[in-house]
Amino acid sequence: MRLLIAAAAGLALTVSVKGKPPQIDDAAITSTDNPPLLSSFGFFNGGADRPASALLPYNLRTPLFTDYAEKQRFLYLPKGKKFTIDPDGRLIFPVGSALIKSFGYHDASGKLNIIETRLLLHKADGWVALPYVWKTDGSDAELKVGGARKPAIFKKPDFTQMSISYAVPNKNQCKQCHSTKDSVMPVGPVWQNLSFADTKSRLAFEKRGNLAGAVPSFEAKWDDPKSGALEARALAYLRVNCGHCHKPTGSASNSGLFYDDHERNSAALGIGKRPVAAGRGSGNFEFVIEPGHPERSILIYRMKSIDPGIAMPELGRATEHYEGVELLEAWIKSLPAS
């Protein structure tokens, strides 16, 4: 059988695949060693566009912004195992599970060219985050614990073309965003924020879970005005893009800003709050969020910046998320000025 696979550099490669598709290697997932090649796990059958049948695809209602990259998300569960859901809606996965997320951009023909695939592997002693970068010919991806830089050209939603140096995070940077009480943990799979491409995908995903503790309602989508009020959409955006660090157990807990699931206190959200530490990052503004004035709010100043010493979030962003900033500006403008 011959197939066309997408290559990381925008090339196409035709390869031959013989015999049965590779089986997912459970031992590779739980091993203390980290394979140098992504193919060692069996997650893909010859290329990034051919996920193994054992993988469960899913999407997020509000995804983390990463320089407008398109993402493909999969869950792998060991045979006979199921995930559970805690009271907050977070999915809890058994040892041997894997979360697989690929990042890429569409070329002029509309084909998605994958640059990297990040893994979260649930080993016996906890989760491990690993970045794999796809070879130019798209045949396999190599472990890059030190991260990497790749040129990327893409079009924003308004069709403006952009060219950036796309950053693949190093292993420590992966840990920074996924840190909870100094342990690596998944941050994306929250029941309220899950979505699926079709009914078949949703049913297959739900079949592998114990849904007894599932939170019944789904949160607002940041980019869909019909899904909820302006504030609900703004808070959903902040939770996904900031809440993994800005929470009591996160790496930015000393800031006093909390955008996780629980916090709705106005000061903890930054409304009328002065920064814990001033400096360049404050832009000479007084408040994290000044009600009625997004143009004088530190939050907006840092979200617009691409200066590494000022920009927030700190990682995964070489450009401004214009649409996300626009949403938060509208929310801040709606807050009654004191």
- 121-172 per-position pLDDT tens digit: 999 999 999 999 999 999 999 999 998 999 999 998 988 999 999 999 887 7
Q: For 28-33, which contacts have Cβ atoms below 8 Å and span 24 or more sequence positions?
A: 29/76, 29/96, 29/97, 29/98, 29/121, 29/122, 29/123, 30/95, 30/96, 30/121, 30/122, 30/123, 30/124, 31/123, 32/123
Query: How many Å is the Cα radius of gyration of the chain?
Result: 20
For residues 208-227, average pLDDT = 90
For residues 314-331, average pLDDT = 92
- Say what the pLDDT of residue 213 is: 81
- Say what the pLDDT of residue 316 is: 74
Q: How far apart are CA 69 and CA 112, in angstroms?
A: 10
- 256-295: buried (b, 16+ CB within 10 Å) or exposed (e) per residue? ebbbbbebeeeebbbbebebeeeeebbbebebbbbbebbe
Residue 15 has pLDDT above 80, yes or no: no
Those residues with Cβ within 8 angstroms of residue 130's Cβ, 6 or more apart along the chain or in another chain: 34, 118, 119, 121, 143, 145, 171, 174
Q: How far apart are CA 31 and CA 207, in angstroms?
A: 27
Report the phi/psi class of residue 156: left, alpha or beta, with left for phi > 0 and alpha for psi in -120 to 50.
beta
Q: pTM of the full predicted structure?
A: 0.87
Q: Please give the span between the terminal C-alpha atoms of the chain, in angstroms, as a whole number.
A: 68
Using a 10 angstrom Cβ sphere, with 0-12 exposed, 13-18 middle and 19 or more buried, the burial of residue 161 is exposed
Those residues with Cβ within 8 angstroms of residue 263's Cβ, 6 or more apart along the chain or in another chain: 247, 269
> Checking DSSP bridges between strand 141-143 and strand 112-123, what pairing results, if any?
unpaired
- Going from N- to C-terminal start, the domains of the chain cover 2-213, 225-334
Q: How far apart are CA 4 and CA 115, in angstroms?
A: 16
- Say what the pLDDT of residue 255 is: 86
Letter for the amino acid at 127?
W
Q: How far apart are CA 329 and CA 193, in angstroms?
A: 23
- Token pair for 271: 């409304």
For residues 240-262, average pLDDT = 83
